[in-house]
Amino acid sequence: MTILVTGGAGYIGSIVVEQLAEQGAEVVVFDNLFQGHRAAVHPKAKFIQGDLADVAAVKQLFAAHTIESILHFASYTLVGESMEKPFKYLGDNVTNGLNLLQAATDAGVKHFILSSTANLFDQPERLPIAETERIVPGSPYGESKFILERFLHWLDITKNLRFTALRYFNAAGASPERGEDHDPETHLIPVVLSVAQGKRQQITIFGNDYPTPDGTCIRDYVHVLDLAQAHILALKALQAGGPSRQYNLGIGKGYSIQEVIAAARKITGHAIPAVIGPRRPGDPAELIASPAAIQRELGWQPHYTELETIVGDAWRWFQKNPNGYEK
C-alpha cells in the first residue's frame, strides 16, 4: 500500500518521508521543486516531479499507483506573502488541494493528512490554544488551510475519506540529514542563524510593541522531528480505523523573538546584531498550542522541548550544509 507525500521534497515533508521510509513504508513523493529539493528526498522513496495544478499529471499519478494514504504538504506557506498575494493562497493553494482531493476521492483513497496551521487562530481568546478555540484565520494563507479543512470535513461525510488536520505551530530544528532551506528564507530561526553564518549583517525584529513581556511576538516552536512523529502517529490511527480529527500541534510553551535570538547567540557564539523594524502584517502577538488532545488521543510526546535543543539542531544542520542542499 503506497503512501503519497505531496511536498515530500520540502522541509517538513522530507523529514516525514525520512521517517516513513526508514520504517519500511512504500512512499511516493510528488513535488514541483519550487521550494523543495531533489536531494532532500530519501533515497528509498520514489520521486515524481510534478505540479498539483496539472490535473492530467495528478490523474496519471493515481493511475500509476495504488495509493491508500496521502500526506499533503505541498503548499505556499508564508503568512506575510499571502497578505500581499492573496490569490496565490486563496487561489493556488486551494485549487491545487482540490485537484488532489478530487483525484484522491475518485481513486478511493482512505486516509488524508493535511498540513494545517496555527494561523487559523488570529485572535485567540484563551492561551494555550485548544481545538475548541474560535477559528479566525489571520491571513489568506490561514484561510486557504481552513477551506481545505472544511472540504475534508465534507469529504469525510460524503466520500468516507478519513482525515487528520495537523495545525502546526512553528516548525523548527532539523534531523541530522535534513533541514530548512527556503529561497528566499523568511522564517525566524534560519534567518537568525544566517546572521551567525555571516550571510546577513543583522536580524530585523518585526515589531517590539506587542502586548508580550518583551514586546516581541511569542511563538510555539516545535521540533521538526517531533512534528514528523505526529504524522506517523496520525497515519497509524487512521489506518487502525480511527476517526477524522483536527489537532493543534505545538509543545505548549512559547518563546519570544528576543529569546530565540538570545538562544542563537549562546549556541553560535556570534553577537547576532538585531534591529527593530515595523510589524509584519498578519502576525498575531502570541500563538501557543495546547497539545492536550493529540497527547491524549494519539500518545504524542514531544522530545525536544528546549529552545536551545531546537535552535542547536538547526545550527548543526546549517554548519554541515552551509549552502543548504546546493552542493
Residues recognised as catalytic? 141
Under rule CB under 6 A, residue 187 binds ligand UDP: yes
240-259 residues near ligand UDP, rule: CB under 6 A: 257
Q: Does 160 bind ligand UDP (CB under 6 A)?
A: no
Residues 6+ apart with CB under 8 A from 312: 267
CA 21 to chain centre: 19
Cis bond before residue 190 (omega within 30° of 0)? no
Among 49, 66, 123, 186, binds ligand UDP (CB under 6 A): 186
- The count of chain residues that interact with ligand UDP, using the rule CB under 6 A, is 15
- DSSP character for 119? G
Q: Could you give the C-alpha distances from 223 to 15, 31, 161, 170, 258, in angstroms and in order? A: 11, 23, 29, 8, 19
- Give the per-residue SS3 of 2-23: EEEEECCCCHHHHHHHHHHHHC
Nearest Cα neighbor of 6 from 55, 53, 75, 67 is 75
Q: What is the rounded CA–CA span in Å between residue 165 and residue 205?
A: 31
Quick one: 33 or 285, whose CB is closer to ligand UDP?
285
User: Based on CB atoms, which residue is closest to ligand UDP, 48 or 191?
Assistant: 191
Instruction: Write down the least CB distance from residue 282 to ligand UDP, Å.
Output: 8
Candidates 48-56, 181-189, 223-231, 310-318; binding stretch for ligand UDP (CB under 6 A): 181-189
Residues 215-234 that bind ligand UDP (CB under 6 A): 217, 219
Binding range to ligand UDP, per CB under 6 A, among 144-152, 159-167, 203-211, 232-240: 203-211
What pairing do the DSSP bridges indicate for beta strands 111-117 and 162-168?
A: parallel
Residue whose C-alpha is closest to residue 257's, from 290, 224, 209, 208 = 208
CA distance 286 to 125: 11
* Nearer residue to ligand UDP within complex by CB, 42 or 145: 145
Q: How many angstroms separate the Cα of 135 from the Cα of each of 142, 263, 282?
A: 10, 32, 15
Nearer to ligand UDP, 50 or 142 (CB): 142
Rounded to a whole number of angstroms, the minimum distance from the CB of residue 284 to ligand UDP is: 8
CA dihedral sign of residues 302, 19, 13, 243: negative
Residue 204 makes contact with ligand UDP by CB under 6 A: yes
Report 253-312 residues binding ligand UDP (CB under 6 A).
257, 280, 283
| Residues 223/250, Cβ–Cβ less than 8 Å | no
Q: Any contact of residue 79 with ligand UDP (CB under 6 A)?
A: yes
Q: How far is the CB of 89 from ligand UDP (least distance, A)?
A: 13
| Binders of ligand UDP in range 100-139 (CB under 6 A) | none
Q: By CB under 6 A, name the one of 191, 253, 301, 316 that touches ligand UDP.
A: 191
Q: Give CA–CA dist 59/70, Å, rounded.
A: 14
Contact pick of 151, 206, 300, 318 for ligand UDP (by CB under 6 A): 206
Cβ of residue 172: shortest distance to ligand UDP, in angstroms? 8
Residue 145 binding ligand UDP, by CB under 6 A: no
Q: Using the rule CB under 6 A, is 188 a contact of ligand UDP?
A: yes
195 contacts ligand UDP (rule: CB under 6 A) = no
**Can you give 168-214 as a three-state secondary structure string?**
ECEEECCCCCCCCCCCCCCCHHHHHHHHHCCCCCCEEEECCCCCCCC
| 190 CA to centre of own chain | 15
Is the CB of 116 or the CB of 170 nearer to ligand UDP? 170
238 binds ligand UDP (CB under 6 A): no
What residues line the site for ligand UDP (CB under 6 A)? 79, 170, 186-188, 191, 203-206, 217, 219, 257, 280, 283
